[in-house]
């Protein structure tokens, strides 16, 4: 017999920007996750949830996207509104229009502005904050140079789905992995190390010496772990990071020093570390029922073997699906005119 019951709650964060998870309290993030779970229930049961009827969100992309673009576009349609897909080359941004002018005008035309600007350290997050400074509508970070708060929220949701609401004491290994395709942003590992310790999770970060993360994100991770009474450590070995881990998240990222000016240098250096791959041998260091996660797209055969990403430890497709529901939760709670009513499981 179930010991859970559904309780109706209400919440609203109208006008609040979602630029990094650091600016949201743990309690607010819990609400985001609860709403995402309820929106997933509604979606799967074909229950209408048009909280943003006749509203518009502008999606500004300075980088390519599959999951982020489609989760926001499909999500906004399901919420009853419309999403405009915009790339820098079709906007006056490419001719030097200021973030002030862009923010003021787009927020007069619609109800939300979402931005992806992630490849150049020192630019994306600053650009979003300047747009947000002038915009009257909420600004949502679809990935910047500092954080990927839509992805990390979906990751946390997936961990709760698979391992329960109380994650205290779990060990998550966030590791660099080799990829020859392109120098990928640092924002996913940075977002994970900042967010997860706040929810009771012990985090071990592993990377070769050249692939260090932004100092401010490392400082935030250490302080968040201190306040939450969790562990955050850095090691130089993928094997050491995986040892006794409950969850492993191995993915590639570029060198901070060269990302913005010489991304090809990141790829050249990476060739020294082609053995940083998530394979069955390495999964053997983790706990028997450990989970493999990745934000996708994964460089198969380089970051991870097919045997792992297609194997019993992998939850990457559930993780990717949760992007839809977390993006909808963020939009609904920051853009709705009235409180969002949602159901949440509570003890009977």
4 lies in some domain: no
Examine the pLDDT at 261 and tell me if it is beyond 90. no
Q: What is the pLDDT of residue 250?
A: 98
Split at pLDDT 50, 70, 90, the class of 1 is very low
Question: Do residue 332 and residue 299 come from a single domain?
Answer: no
Question: Do residue 328 and residue 230 come from a single domain?
Answer: no
Question: Do residue 96 and residue 36 come from a single domain?
Answer: yes
Question: Do residue 226 and residue 304 come from a single domain?
Answer: yes
Q: Which of 191, 91, 106 is nearest to 143 (CA)?
A: 191
Q: What is the pLDDT of residues 265-274, one digit of tens each?
A: 989 999 999 9
Question: Do residue 66 and residue 173 come from a single domain?
Answer: no
Question: Do residue 112 and residue 156 come from a single domain?
Answer: no
| pLDDT, mean of residues 287-296 | 97
Give 10 or 312, the one with higher predicted confidence. Answer: 312
CATH classification at residue 257: 3.40.50.1370
Question: Do residue 171 and residue 314 come from a single domain?
Answer: yes
| Separation of alpha carbons 326 and 336, rounded Å | 15
- Angle (nearest 5°) at CA 152 between 46 and 330: 50
Helices (H), the chain: 26-44, 67-78, 99-109, 124-134, 149-163, 187-195, 215-228, 238-242, 263-270, 280-283, 306-309, 316-335
| Separation of alpha carbons 50 and 341, rounded Å | 12
184 lies in some domain: yes
Question: Do residue 120 and residue 189 come from a single domain?
Answer: no
Split at pLDDT 50, 70, 90, the class of 49 is very high
Q: What is the pLDDT of residue 159?
A: 98
- Mean of all residue pLDDT scores within the chain: 94
Domain enclosing residue 205, as ranges: 149-319
Question: Do residue 224 and residue 102 come from a single domain?
Answer: no
3 lies in some domain: no
Indicate the number of domains in the chain.
Answer: 2
Q: Which residues contact 95 (CB under 8 A, 6 or more apart)?
A: none
């Amino acid at each position: 017999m179930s010991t859970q019951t559904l309780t109706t709650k209400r919440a609203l964060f109208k006008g609040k920007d979602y630029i990094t998870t650091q600016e949201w309290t743990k309690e607010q993030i819990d609400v985001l996750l609860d709403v995402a779970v309820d929106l997933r229930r509604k979606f799967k049961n074909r229950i209408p949830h048009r909280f943003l009827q006749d509203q518009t969100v502008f999606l500004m992309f300075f980088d390519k996207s599959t999951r982020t673009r489609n989760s926001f576009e499909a999500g906004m349609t399901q919420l009853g509104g419309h999403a405009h897909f915009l790339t820098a080359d079709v906007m006056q941004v490419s001719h030097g229009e200021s973030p002030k002018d862009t923010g003021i005008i787009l927020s007069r035309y619609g109800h939300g502005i979402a931005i992806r600007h992630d490849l150049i350290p020192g630019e994306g997050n600053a650009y979003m904050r300047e747009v947000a400074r002038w915009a009257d509508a909420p600004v949502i970070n679809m990935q910047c140079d500092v954080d990927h708060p839509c992805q990390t929220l979906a990751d946390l949701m997936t961990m709760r789905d698979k391992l329960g609401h109380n994650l205290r004491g779990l060990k998550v290994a966030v590791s660099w992995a080799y990829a020859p395709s392109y120098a990928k942003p640092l924002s996913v590992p940075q977002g994970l190390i900042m967010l997860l310790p706040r929810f009771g999770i012990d985090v071990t970060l592993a990377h070769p010496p050249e692939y260090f993360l932004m100092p401010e994100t490392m400082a935030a991770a250490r302080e968040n772990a201190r306040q939450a009474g969790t562990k955050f450590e850095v090691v130089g070995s993928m094997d050491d990071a995986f040892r006794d881990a409950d969850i492993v998240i191995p993915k590639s990222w570029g060198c901070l020093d060269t990302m913005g000016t010489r991304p090809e240098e990141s790829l050249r250096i990476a060739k020294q570390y082609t053995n940083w791959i998530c394979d069955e041998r390495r999964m053997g260091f983790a706990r028997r029922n450990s989970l493999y996660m990745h934000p996708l797209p994964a460089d198969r055969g380089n970051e991870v073997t097919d045997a792992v990403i297609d194997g019993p430890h992998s939850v990457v497709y559930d993780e990717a699906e949760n992007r839809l529901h977390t993006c909808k939760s963020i939009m609904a709670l920051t853009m709705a005119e009235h409180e969002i009513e949602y159901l949440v499981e509570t003890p009977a």
